[in-house]
Amino acid sequence: MNSRIVPLMFFPDDIVLLDVPVIQQLYHWDCGLACSRMVLKYLHPISDEQFQKACWELKMTESVWTIDLAYLMCHLGIKHCFCTQTLGVDKGFRNQSFYRKHFDTEEDRVNELFLKAESKGVVVKKCSVTIQEIESHLEENHVAIVLINAVILTCELCSASVKYCCFLPVGQKCFCRKPEYQGHFVVLRGFNRTTGCILYNNPAYSDRVCCTTVNNFEEARRSYGTDEDILFIFKAS
């Protein structure tokens, strides 16, 4: 195991590493759904049939926004809180290649989800979240799904002779080489205060815990295009 994770046995007060299973995404668009499955498996067993039924009932398509994941958690009775900088769709995203394909068809749908959220029991807050608040959440054995810019996020454990971002499996095209936004969801499962790193599951992989510095994580999650979206999910006590 990489030395960035070994210190778990030496600094128990400084490290949190939750037992969140790693589940790989099946397509280029379903990273958010894969992250949701990881979270649900961590909270309590849920069958693939139950999960697929919930997605079907919510009419989830190949365009999955963070608000969709919040509705999914609500639909399944999971305590959650979706924090974001924009209550709706930022019209500036229309000019980003990542959003351009689905923007016109998705704008009204997503805005309507935000408008109806409170009446549906979906918890949404317009706020910025600090890294200290995120770590406190993890210390309570809770998890979070975070929207990040995969162009920026760099896993220190996935590095080889060529540095790949943690968006696609090694061997496929690396989005790090393109100077543009690439939205991607990851699951936060811990941190190491001693080494200053964040531990997370990347649905692009099926066999590893990923690790990045706090500074890199903060840059990736605050990048324009993410709206600083973070879906806090709470484990029942």
- Work out the average pLDDT over 31-59: 94
pLDDT tens column, 133-152:
999 999 999 999 999 999 99
Sign of CA dihedral 43, 47, 51, 57: negative
Instruction: Out of 19-23, 25-29, 197-201, pick the least confident.
Output: 25-29
Encode burial over 105-115: b for 16+ CB neighbours within 10 A, e otherwise: ebbebbeebbe
pLDDT tens column, 209-230:
999 999 999 999 999 999 999 9
Domains identified in the chain and CATH numbers? 6-233 (3.90.70.10)
Return the higher-pLDDT residue of 167 and 213.
213
- Work out the average pLDDT over 45-61: 91
Bridge-based pairing state of the strands 15-17 and 183-192: antiparallel
Torsions phi, psi of 6, nearest 5? -50, -40
